Amino acid sequence: MLNRTGINYARTVKLDRNNIVTACVNYKSRIFTDASLMLEEWLADREEWAPRHRDPVLDLLERPNRFYNWSVLAKATVFDLDVGNGGGGDAYWFKVRNGIGTPIELWWLPAHLVEPKGNDRDPNVFIDHYEYNVDGSKVHLRVEDVIHFRYGMDPDNPRRGMGPLRTLFREVFTDDEAANMTAALLKNMGVPGVIITPEAGASIPPEKAEEIKQKYMEKFGGDKTGEPMVLGGAAKVQQFGFSPEQLQMRALRGVPEERIAANLGVSAAVVGLGTGLAQTKVGATLREYREHDVETTIVPLWREIAQTLTQQLLPDFRDTRNWRLVFDLSKVRVLQEDERARAERIGRLVTDGLIRISEGRRALGFPVLPEHEIYLRPSTHVQIPAGPLRIQQSNGNGGALNE
């Protein structure tokens, strides 16, 4: 229930049927799948992380099972985090193991069918198991067999995450109703309902009134919009309700657009919403909005997903003290300008002799060979030993004096 209302809007709307919600979530999903996961190993002697692009855990993530790939699994995960289970906040994967306990398949579990449960006998156990509802029966899943992604914590149930849309059911309802009203008006000649009343001194029997109503609907509904109609007696037709202009429908629908997009971390302009496009004309460009969305919404999401996978999947394959999963952002098109600037900065550090060639190549993801463990020193630079500065001066006879 929302503040200051007794209406349960959560029961009257379907978030995944609202076009604002789906536009924002689909946009996030497309950007999210632009980056691929990679493995990094901590090299203690160099005190840096070295990338690894091939590994059994990466193969599993690339092909979770024989029915869908990483892109499908990732998009379902983003959808559940934003929308699933009545407002988002949680997403779940299930691990299928082989005979020696190694995960060989990953399956998406619909968030609305999964519930994290504690231990009734031991309140100190945060999550004892996950309850999975299948065809009316409840199946207990072990914690180690479930990967649980979440947005923070729900203050009413810390075992679950806090979805971004749980406070926006009213706005989604407003947008749905505005869309329904617009469609109904267009279906009925583009004007609201009317009242047909007899002129002064006349009356209309009930059966005649029903006949006039049906004729009016037939003449002005559907493909017959705008056809003429002749009444059998003197009558007055009055508009009942408000026209779209009087309701300011565009402004009315703008508020849900702004709030839904803001809570999902998406600029309204990049998904083609009217409010965002209007702001783009006098504000930032679409490219700047895209970069902002990626930096403030998608990059943190990549980081959270990678951290969860490092904590809940990687231990089945590697020692997480020396290994971690991260997203490779070098091929994300929206970030290419940033990557180019980063490459140029690293190149300057190498050519200025501040870091080794090997360090620069590792930072940019290139292979490193033994001959790269050197510094570059410009030939025009003179090496001066550390210590007191010695200044050489002439004695006037061609000789030199040192001070």
Task: List pLDDT tens digits, range 337-385.
Answer: 667 777 888 888 888 888 888 888 888 878 888 888 888 877 776 666 6
Q: Residues 208, 140: one domain?
A: no
**Residue 64 pLDDT:** 97
State which of 305, 329, 353 marks the end of a domain.
329
Q: Is residue 111 part of a domain?
A: yes
Q: Is residue 336 part of a domain?
A: no
User: Has residue 300 got a pLDDT over 70?
Assistant: yes
Residue of 295, 288, 249, 294 whose CA lies nearest to 269:
288
User: Has residue 395 got a pLDDT over 80?
Assistant: no
User: Has residue 209 got a pLDDT over 60?
Assistant: yes
Residue of 139, 172, 165 whose CA lies nearest to 19:
172
Q: Residues 364, 382: one domain?
A: yes
Q: Is residue 380 part of a domain?
A: yes
Beta strands in 68-173 (DSSP E): 90-97, 103-109, 114-117, 129-134, 137-142, 146-150
Question: Which residue range forms the structural domain that includes residue 217?
Answer: 196-240
DSSP H helical ranges for 132-205: 169-187
Q: Which range has the worst mean pLDDT, 81-90, 240-249, 371-380?
A: 240-249
Q: Which range has the worst mean pLDDT, 41-50, 86-95, 310-319?
A: 41-50
**Residue 282 pLDDT:** 47
Q: Residues 45, 141: one domain?
A: yes
Mean pLDDT value across residues 240-244: 54
Mean pLDDT value across residues 24-50: 91
**Residue 221 pLDDT:** 56
Q: Is residue 27 part of a domain?
A: yes
**Residue 101 pLDDT:** 94
User: Has residue 280 got a pLDDT over 60?
Assistant: no
